[in-house]
């Protein structure tokens, strides 16, 4: 069977399952999620064995230590995946939620209700926990899912899918609702991106390269996620203790994630008071700084930032710093280089706080807080399938409601137009 035929087969199965899943009761979906969690834990040994194969292969291929760590399953990580499914079971079901009802002058009653999107394609990279997360979230929101994981995690992913799909189907989820593309042939991604007949949306989760490939080649609607060139602007009037704490947290607490800071913008008037201490603290934490000419005066170990630096998501303990004349210059820099994910200002000036929030175009715009809070759990959604950096359909952290569409139900007694 060639790749396209296989993909169409999976697509057909998923679409057929999606029809039934769309009208399945919440109780059945929740019980399935709990069964999936229980089976994952019960099969810990099998999962560890499969994962060991991936780790071995990864070492042979010379994967980096950080990639190997993302790939690694442990008993604790398996328990955490199971716990994630139980948490999804405990969340309210978005399907069937009423979003408004009106009676028109002619007596027609028009209700707007949430329905599943249908079939969701998810293309992701190394971490096997995404397989569980994505399957669980799609299922709870009534969607069938076609998953395409990275080749590094193939043995782990296949084992996970076999366990959770069997548990789900045994608990009453329609067969075919959870599909996984087992071939690591890269053609499969291209085929998936053209599967308009069966897919309602594709969500890529991974690095900028993956996202770009998907956006440029998909004829299926895409939700872009996750690239974050996030800035923090320390305004003239900032509380400098607060500014240091926020900037340090935004860069250092977890540099590999998309909501961490890549560029620090500093108002020229407070650079003398703010930067020496800030640079010292960053240096102690092992952060490499790349700065504008002015910034370089404040420490001897600062590398000159190139044009490319301002446009780079480092995913690492590297920070670019630029001194700016005022809030307008900060907004302009952000406008030019931001990926519209998360942006922050630290200020005590009321007008500047307002101006920044109005003028900066991003999913999340912060005043006096770390950009690190852009996250489905921190936003109280109880789950997250990714962080959308586009404006269509969903923006910012996506929870269960973002995995749904709507439908108008109209009831009448013979109305004609």
Q: What are the residues binding its own copies (CB under 8 A)?
A: 19, 22-23, 102, 104, 108, 110, 115, 117-118, 196, 200-201, 215-216, 219, 221-223, 239, 242, 245-246, 248-250, 253, 335, 353, 357-359, 361-370, 372-374, 378-380, 390-393, 395-396, 405-417
Decide the pairing of beta strands 303-304 and 119-124.
unpaired
Residue 162 CB, nearest distance to its own copies (Å)?
Answer: 30
Residue 361 CB, nearest distance to its own copies (Å)?
Answer: 7
Between 22 and 173, name the residue whose CB sits nearer to its own copies: 22
Give the chain's largest Cα–Cα span: 81
Query: Inter-axis angle of helices 268-284 and 240-252, to 10 degrees?
Result: 50
Between 201 and 302, name the residue whose CB sits nearer to its own copies: 201
Between 169 and 373, name the residue whose CB sits nearer to its own copies: 373
Residue 151 CB, nearest distance to its own copies (Å)?
Answer: 26
Give 344's Cβ-side CA count (13 Å radius): 31
Between 128 and 255, name the residue whose CB sits nearer to its own copies: 255
E-strand ranges in 51-108 read: 98-103
By the 8 A CB rule, do 34 and 85 touch?
yes
φ, ψ for residue 370, nearest 5 deg = -75, 140
Sheet architecture: strand order including 303-304: 303-304, 288-291, 318-324, 261-267, 230-234, 342-346
Between 82 and 363, name the residue whose CB sits nearer to its own copies: 363
Between 175 and 361, name the residue whose CB sits nearer to its own copies: 361
Decide the pairing of beta strands 119-124 and 109-116.
unpaired
By the 8 A CB rule, do 33 and 165 touch?
no
Rg of the chain (C-alpha set):
24
Between 186 and 358, name the residue whose CB sits nearer to its own copies: 358
Residue 117 CB, nearest distance to its own copies (Å)?
Answer: 5
E-strand ranges in 84-234 read: 98-103, 109-116, 119-124, 144-148, 178-180, 201-205, 230-234
Residue 58 CB, nearest distance to its own copies (Å)?
Answer: 30
Residue 264 CB, nearest distance to its own copies (Å)?
Answer: 15
Residue 396 CB, nearest distance to its own copies (Å)?
Answer: 5
Decide the pairing of beta strands 318-324 and 261-267.
parallel
Between 150 and 376, name the residue whose CB sits nearer to its own copies: 376
Q: Which helix (H) or strand (E) holds 335?
A: helix 327-337
By the 8 A CB rule, do 315 and 67 touch?
no
Residue 237 CB, nearest distance to its own copies (Å)?
Answer: 14
Decide the pairing of beta strands 98-103 and 109-116.
antiparallel
Residue 112 CB, nearest distance to its own copies (Å)?
Answer: 8
Residue 374 CB, nearest distance to its own copies (Å)?
Answer: 8
Q: Which burial class, exposed, middle or buried, applies to 183 when counting CB atoms under 10 A from its CB (0-12, 13-18, 19+)? A: middle
Between 320 and 389, name the residue whose CB sits nearer to its own copies: 389
Q: For the chain, report the end-to-end CA distance as a whole number of angstroms.
A: 51
């Amino acid at each position: 069977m060639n790749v396209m035929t296989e993909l169409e087969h999976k697509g057909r199965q998923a679409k057929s399952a999606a029809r039934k899943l769309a009208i399945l009761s919440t109780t059945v979906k929740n019980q399935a999620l709990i069964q999936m969690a229980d089976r994952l834990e019960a099969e810990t040994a099998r999962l560890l064995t499969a994962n060991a194969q991936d780790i071995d292969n990864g070492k042979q291929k010379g994967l980096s230590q950080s990639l190997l760590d993302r790939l690694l399953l442990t008993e604790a990580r398996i328990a955490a995946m199971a716990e994630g499914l139980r948490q999804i079971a405990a969340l309210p079901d978005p399907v069937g939620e009423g979003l408004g009802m009106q009676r028109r002058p002619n007596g027609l009653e028009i209700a707007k209700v949430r329905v599943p999107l249908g079939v969701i394609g998810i293309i992701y990279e190394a971490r096997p926990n995404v397989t569980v997360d994505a399957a669980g979230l799609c299922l709870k929101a009534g969607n069938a899912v076609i998953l395409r994981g990275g080749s590094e995690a193939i043995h782990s992913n296949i084992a996970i899918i076999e366990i959770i799909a069997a548990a789900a189907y045994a608990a009453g989820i329609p067969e075919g609702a959870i599909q996984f593309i087992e071939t690591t042939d890269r053609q499969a991604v291209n085929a998936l991106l053209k599967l308009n007949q069966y897919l309602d949306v594709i969500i890529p989760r991974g690095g900028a390269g993956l996202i770009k490939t998907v956006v440029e080649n998909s004829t299926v609607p895409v939700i872009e996620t996750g690239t974050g060139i996030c800035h923090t602007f320390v305004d003239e009037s900032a509380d400098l203790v607060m500014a240091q704490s926020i900037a340090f947290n935004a860069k250092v607490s977890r540099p590999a994630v998309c909501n961490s800071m890549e560029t620090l913008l500093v108002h020229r008037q407070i650079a003398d008071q703010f930067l020496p201490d800030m640079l010292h603290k960053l240096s102690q934490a092992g952060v490499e700084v790349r700065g504008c000419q002015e910034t370089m005066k404040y420490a001897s170990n600062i590398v000159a930032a190139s044009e490319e630096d301002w446009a780079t998501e480092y995913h690492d303990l590297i920070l670019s710093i630029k001194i700016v004349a005022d809030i307008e210059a900060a907004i302009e820099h952000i406008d030019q280089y931001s990926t519209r994910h998360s942006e922050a200002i630290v200020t005590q000036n009321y007008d500047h706080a307002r101006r920044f929030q109005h003028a900066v175009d991003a999913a999340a715009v912060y005043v006096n807080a770390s950009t690190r809070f852009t996250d489905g759990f921190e936003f109280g959604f109880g789950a997250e399938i990714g962080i959308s950096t586009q404006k269509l359909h969903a923006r910012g952290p996506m929870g269960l409601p973002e995995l749904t569409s709507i439908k108008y139900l109209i009831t009448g007694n013979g109305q004609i137009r």
